[in-house]
Amino acid sequence: MEKTVEIRDLLFHFLEDLPATQLRQVLDFTLFLREQTLTPQKAEERYHLLLSSELLEKTTHEIEHLEEEFANYKMLYPHKS
């Protein structure tokens, strides 16, 4: 248990001054590692959380562009089961 705490403290220390882009990479990798032990539903929830946080970082112009790109997506590409 003590080793886990030491490792966690070291991680926090090394993460505290990283820029947002590198923190995003750490988060992506952490989610990848966690997905290996999560149920598919929990992995899906974490994926949507990450996607939502990425969308929050986009500029208004980028969001408008994405909305235009995917405006008729469901109609053009219906889900086929």
Of residues 13 and 46, more confidently modeled: 13
Report the C-alpha gap between 37 and 43 in whole angstroms. 9
Distance of CA 32 to the CA centre of its chain: 10
For the chain, give the longest Cα–Cα distance: 55
Could you tell me the pTM of the whole model? 0.46
Distance of CA 26 to the CA centre of its chain: 10
Show the DSSP H helices in 1-59 as ranges. 2-15, 20-35, 40-56
Confidence of residue 10 (pLDDT cuts 50, 70, 90): very high
Supply 72's token pair.
């008729």
Find, among 31, 75, 68, 80, the residue nearest to 51 by Cα: 31
Average pLDDT, the chain: 80
